[in-house]
Structure 1
Amino acid sequence: MLRKIGLLVTTAVLLTACAETRFVMHTAKRLGETNKSQGDYKVGKPYKVKGVEYTPEEDMAYDETGIASWYGPNFHGKYTANGEIYDQWDVSAAHKTLPMPSIVRVTNLENGRSLVIRINDRGPYVAGRIIDLSRRAAQLLGVEQTGTAKVRVQIMPNESRVAAERAKAGGTQLAAKDTPISVKGVNSEPVASQTLSDPLEDQRNAKAPGQLYVAPQSAPVVQAQLVTHTQILDAPVTQSASKIAPVGQISRVAVSPTQLYVQAGAFSDVGNAERVKNHLTTIGNVSVTPISVNGRDLFRVRVGPLSSVADADALLMEVVDAGYVNARTVVEKTARN
């Protein structure tokens, strides 16, 4: 009888040990899956691509409108500019000058979708583009099918500083070797989340600002935290230091009609601006408009407005060929009469 009891106790101990071993192995596997390489913090030196010079810098006031594109399959699994492995299903993007990593809010000015995105690569180097979205980010913003969209890109200072410090510290750290894993330490509370809808279906249904979405089922589902609010497009991104928006957080904001222009340059001397205008008169409708930037008066030379991204791309090539290699496509709110 005692022998049977001893055998039962031994069996129970072995089963418990096996269960704990399976739990530890499963936990280690999950950590390995989610603890992707965070890459290095990198600003980088000035560089030149196709005759155009770019100067990377920490710019916590960055706020620009322009054209977004997306990249995916041909780069999936390859290294990004800061040493990460590019995953087209992550919510990320490439930018020419912002530090890596940086956190930005990208707003699609055509449908009002606004997404928090992590910058971890350099590009795009196609003329007229200001940001290159991952495939997943493009899906969530409704850009995958169209290929391009008019967007506003705003740096998120608090989030960017946190991301930078994390990268400088080597990213997320795993527990030390032989550290016991406690089941009590695992948060078993369900995570409240909702998924996002097919952007094309959104457009067909013409949902009002502030409504939530359901994610498309044709791709791996990424749980995106949702915020329902309406934001004035002219307002800067502001956050409390205690409120850090997670990458993948999406909302819908109010947007205004916009127009496309090709800007040949901005000059401090109005005479120079007028000379450039005269040089480009045969290309299209050229105008000189004054603007004050940080207390400095500048005169912008622009061609437009243009009816489509394709038209803007074609005209941009003409302006570049005319000798203005730093020309770019810009997006502005439609002027009110």
Structure 2
Amino acid sequence: MMRKRQRAGTRVAVLVLSAAMLSGCAEMNLFGHYAKRATSEPPPANASAAATYKIGKPYQIKGVWYYPQEDFDYDETGIASWYGPDFHGKLTANGEVFDQNAVSAAHKTLPMPSVVRVTNLENGRSLVVRVNDRGPFAHGRVIDMSRRSAQLLGFEGQGTARVRVEIMAEESRVLAGKLAPSGGPQEPAIVAAPRGSVTAESLPPPGSSEPSRPIVASAAKVDTSAQRSAAAVEATERKLASQEVSSVPVHSTGIYVQAGSFSRHDNALRLSARLSAVGRPNVEQVSVKGKTWYRVRFGPMTNVDEADRLLESVIAAGQQDARVIVD
């Protein structure tokens, strides 16, 4: 009797576990390579690698909320890391198959795919990559590069690098247009709704003997527009496939932990005082697009490890949005 109950309990546990796994599939795919840590089996060889244009809904990882959105002005500095062998051949967050030998990257909030230029601020190497996954979710990392991307940027061996990440707006729009042919993303974007246009045409007076004629779009114009669009897509994909590394001038940079940024000086001073137990933050006044901000920062740090340790302390003190920046 005891054995029967054990077998029955085992069957129930298996059924419950199977149901939980099925219900979690969609959520796991959202989190990209973070979620893939939960499984060691790659997708079947014939798994669909068809990419889709995906912005995604807000999501939470390790107590931190992320808000994906279109941002064609995105330009940020920080620390890059890379990922490869553990995820090679597995699905990315937008349905592609991850190839560690291709040039790609994971980002927490940019649409997938997006095209970004990543510049290693330590050696001046610069590379155009395709964002097709979500991550990195380690504190203090701004982007996670594929292994090949890290090799080309020259930081595979050291594991991390100070980088600048700039979205390439035109190329990103081209990919969005290709993968969302209906004219909009598959999921609602956090942007203003576009305005349609109305064309007015004078009508003949009542009783006119001239029959109405249908307005036919010029086939030549349509063909030309399609050709331009196809050429733009081809040029973007050619640029991504080239794995071409350019060299740009860079200046010396420092690593900082930014605990917060405020439009009011007194708010910055209050946070600085509250974090005095963690260290000695500075309150700096800066102007961004004509607006004055007061940043609460620690640093510069000696290295990434020191910045990581301090960042954890600042987060533990209640500043979940604190981040590592390079300046």
Looking at structure 1, the residues matched to 157 and 278 of structure 2 have their Cα atoms a distance apart, in angstroms, of 31
Question: Greater CA deviation, 48-57 or 318-327?
Answer: 48-57
Aligned to 1:109: 121
SS at match of 1:285: coil
Flag structure 1 segments of 5+ consecutive residues without an equivalent: 1-32, 171-239, 333-337
1:37-77 Cα offsets, whole Å, 9 max, x none, are: 34110011111111111111111110000000001111111
Note closer, same or farther for the CA distance 1:290–1:243 as it changes in structure 2 (3 Å cut): farther
Aligned to 1:246: 239
SS at match of 1:311: helix
Aligned to 1:317: 312
Looking at structure 2, the residues matched to 162 and 143 of structure 1 have their Cα atoms a distance apart, in angstroms, of 30
1:104-130 Cα offsets, whole Å, 9 max, x none, are: 000000011000000000000000000
The structure 2 residue matched to 1:301, chosen from 296, 309, 324, is: 296
Verify the 8 A CA contact 1:113 1:253 in the aligned structure 2.
Answer: yes
Correspondence 1:76-87 to 2 at 5 A: 76-87=88-99
The answer to which structure has the higher helix fraction is 2
TM-score after normalising by structure 1: 0.65
Looking at structure 1, the residues matched to 306 and 73 of structure 2 have their Cα atoms a distance apart, in angstroms, of 30
The question of 1:291 aligning with 2:286 is answered: yes
Verify the 8 A CA contact 1:38 1:167 in the aligned structure 2.
Answer: no
The question of 1:126 aligning with 2:138 is answered: yes
Aligned to 1:201: none
Residue identity in the other structure for 1:246: K
Aligned to 2:150: 138
1:146-184 Cα offsets, whole Å, 9 max, x none, are: 0000000000011111121222249xxxxxxxxxxxxxx
SS at match of 2:277: coil
Looking at structure 1, the residues matched to 152 and 234 of structure 2 have their Cα atoms a distance apart, in angstroms, of 26
Note closer, same or farther for the CA distance 1:311–1:133 as it changes in structure 2 (3 Å cut): same
The question of 1:165 aligning with 2:158 is answered: no
Residue 282 (structure 1) shift:
3.3
RMSD, matched Cα: 2.1
Aligned to 2:325: 330
Percentage of identical aligned residues: 56
Residue identity in the other structure for 1:148: T
Residue identity in the other structure for 2:81: S
The structure 2 residue matched to 1:39, chosen from 45, 51, 63, is: 51
Correspondence 1:235-274 to 2 at 5 A: 244=236, 246-247=239-240, 248-274=243-269
Verify the 8 A CA contact 2:106 2:143 in the aligned structure 1.
Answer: yes
Structure 1 segments of 4+ aligned residues over 4 angstroms from their partners? 240-245
Looking at structure 2, the residues matched to 55 and 128 of structure 1 have their Cα atoms a distance apart, in angstroms, of 17
Residue 257 (structure 1) shift:
0.1
The structure 2 residue matched to 1:282, chosen from 249, 253, 277, is: 277
SS at match of 2:150: helix
Residue 242 (structure 1) shift:
11
Note closer, same or farther for the CA distance 1:243–1:167 as it changes in structure 2 (3 Å cut): closer
Verify the 8 A CA contact 1:284 1:304 in the aligned structure 2.
Answer: no
